[in-house]
Structure 1
Amino acid sequence: MKLTIKYFASIREQLGITEEIVVIDVPHLTIDGLRSRLGSRDARTADALRDGRPVRIAVNYEIVAPTFVLRQDSEIAFFPPVTGG
């Protein structure tokens, strides 16, 4: 499964990258599964995407739940919650 991953705000700053393309050889992958796989690569990514950190995820420009099942060629965006006033 080929996925385009984009990182925003403090997550992008922590990882030092804006975007990457990953290929994961699985027939079924949820957002939680992707987050775990990415986090297992190295300590910096593990910290940026850790379970306790509030992170919003959008797939193809729509906010999704952690149980959302990904499809081939999806674009996934990870970003911290936004506050405003």
Structure 2
Amino acid sequence: MTILLFGATKDIIGTPTLSVPTASLSGRKIPNTVGELKKFLENTYPELKSISKVTVAVNQNYASDNEKINSYDEIALIPPP
């Protein structure tokens, strides 16, 4: 799963894109929804919690936390301006 990063999210993670493995996450549950992905990323990169509201887009459409995601989706994290 590839995630596009912008603004502060890119600064925190240190790269414009992030690959999240979908086969095995060292005993962690594979994120299946936007909300699960956000929690996974906040656990992996605790500094992301400092951003007040990160918007997630799936396939170039804004997505709610309960939206399902797949390994082939284009996902973007968009911090507030």
Taking structure 2 as the reference length, the TM-score comes to 0.77
Matches within 5 A, 1:1-85: 3-25=1-23, 29-41=32-44, 45-48=45-48, 50=49, 53-82=52-81
Change beyond 3 A, Cα 1:4–1:54: same
Where 1:70 maps in the other structure, the secondary structure is coil
User: Aligned pair count?
Assistant: 76
Q: How much does 1:62 deviate?
A: 0.7
Letter of the aligned partner of 1:14 in structure 2?
I
1:62 aligned partner, one-letter code: N
Any idea what SS the aligned residue of 1:29 has? coil
State the percentage of identical aligned residues: 22
CA deviation map 1:23-66 (0-9, x unaligned):
2346771111011112222xxx2221x28721111011111111
Unpaired runs of 5+ residues, structure 1, are none
Alignment RMSD (CA, Å): 2.2
Q: Which aligned runs of 4 or more in structure 1 are off by greater than 3 angstroms?
A: 25-28
CA offset at residue 5 of structure 1?
Answer: 0.7
Q: Secondary structure at the match of 2:71?
A: coil
TM-score normalized by the length of structure 1: 0.74
Larger Rg: 1
